[in-house]
Chains A and B, each alone.
Chain A
């Protein structure tokens, strides 16, 4: 039987400990490449084109060793599409051999029999297949023509070779929030866990956020659906919805710079995967002291660990459950970090600040594609 969310809820005292930061991340996201065979319209890292400064194999393995020495428990590997790296299996093998867990996200395009066989014996490697709809029409609208078929083929391959259990990872959008039952059934068919996470206005998500972000009514429906399905993982994405009732399982805090962070393909370290912007860049692993020094002593992370949260939320009766919501969502919608979450369920969102310009996401790694939304047609790059 697969475990339900193993962190039912944590005490207020434990939350305060975690908000003050840990000696090492509990986990971190490592985007190992910006290269991708797809161009999903909401890609939080705006991936597509490989960066020539991408860490090489030696640098990548050394970074894994650093994570292990620091006691990082597991790494969320993504991209881009991580399986496009020729040394990806080597990175996985090395990580597994030294006891560091890896959960990697993939669109499944390159998961074939050889790959499934190669990772069969890895003890602590989890696979997350990304899809965003329960059928081709719904999924391919967001992830591109042919992507659903590729993802299903990967799942069939993993199931056929009895490899291991895997997860289906979905970003909740206005389009699919009413299709969660179908997605749940799809996951059960494959004996997979379902993981549903929040859409952020990061990367290319910034271009489509207005069209894809769930409405208040959608969010309420989503919250209640998650409460009815405690075996669905959320990556701690939805603590901003907790004031709708009891908190969902998870840490229910913003862990950025405190218990998690992001390392990007060129070794830049950011507060979290949804904040790829200079404002949230803490350093590069090539800086003196490397990742360890950045984690322990960077000015950005120190300030995050001493922060008391958004000032406008402090007096709200719901603050202890929602913690003022998601920093990335506030930042990239122009609401400002001291404001409530733009999706505040108590209706206290303030909208974009009239004083500051809405920050622009870095789209420099995107391929030139046309994104059709209901309101406009936008070319990236």
Chain B
């Protein structure tokens, strides 16, 4: 389960890129392809890459009102191995 106080990063072997519908990721090691519909998820991931914890990253991208859809999407990416907790 996603914890907003933590920071997450792309799992080893995962690349991600922006698409008009949101983003698409691919894991070189598991061959898993994930379509991420909806905007904002990629920006949150990029903010975490820059050092923000999840809560800060979401505030940067979405302001004070965090959509539950964003949390669900990130949980999905965590459970699918696209994201992992950053050390």
Query: Contact residues of A with B, CB < 8 Å?
Result: 3, 5-7, 10, 14, 17-18, 22-24, 26, 71, 73-74, 99, 101, 123-124, 251
Contacts and interface: CB of A to CB of B under 8 A. Distances in A.
A74 B24 CA distance: 13
Contacts of B19: 22-23
- The residue among B15, B18, B30 with the most chain A CB atoms within 10 A of its own CB is B15
Contacts of A22: 19, 24
A124 B13 contact: yes
B4 interface: no
A17 B21 contact: yes
Nearest to B33: A7
A71 B18 CA distance: 9
B35 interface: yes
B15 A7 contact: no
Contacts of B15: 71, 73, 99
Contact of A23 (B13, B18, B30): B18
Which one of A5, A6, A23, A101 has the highest number of Cβ atoms from chain B below 10 Å of its Cβ?
A: A6
Interface of B: 13, 15, 17-21, 24, 26-33, 35, 37
Contact of B28 (A14, A18, A24, A74): A74
A6 B28 contact: no
A6 B32 contact: yes
A14 B35 contact: yes
A265 B18 CA distance: 29
A3 B17 contact: no
Interface SS of chain A: loop
A101 B28 contact: yes
Nearest to B24: A22
A22 B23 CA distance: 10
A175 B34 CA distance: 37
Contacts of A71: 15, 17-18
Nearest to A10: B35
Contacts of A14: 35
Contacts of B32: 3, 6-7
Given A7-B33, A10-B35, A17-B37, 7 more contacts: A3-B29, A3-B32, A6-B30, A6-B32, A26-B33, A71-B17, A124-B28
Given A22-B19, A26-B33, A6 B27 contact: yes
A74 B26 contact: yes
A14 B35 CA distance: 7
Nearest to A13: B37
5 contacts: A3-B30, A17-B35, A24-B17, A26-B33, A71-B18
B44 to A, nearest CB: 18
Nearest to A7: B33
A126 B73 CA distance: 31
Contacts of B18: 23, 71
B5 to A, nearest CB: 30
Nearest to A101: B28
A14 B19 CA distance: 13
Contacts of A124: 13, 28
Contacts of A99: 15
Contacts of A74: 26, 28
B30 A26 contact: no
A6 B33 contact: yes
A325 to B, nearest CB: 22
Contacts of A251: 33
A111 to B, nearest CB: 21
A22 B19 CA distance: 7
A5 B24 contact: no
A3 B30 CA distance: 6
A6 B24 contact: no
A126 to B, nearest CB: 9
A26 B27 contact: no
Nearest to B17: A71
B37 to A, nearest CB: 8
A347 B28 CA distance: 38
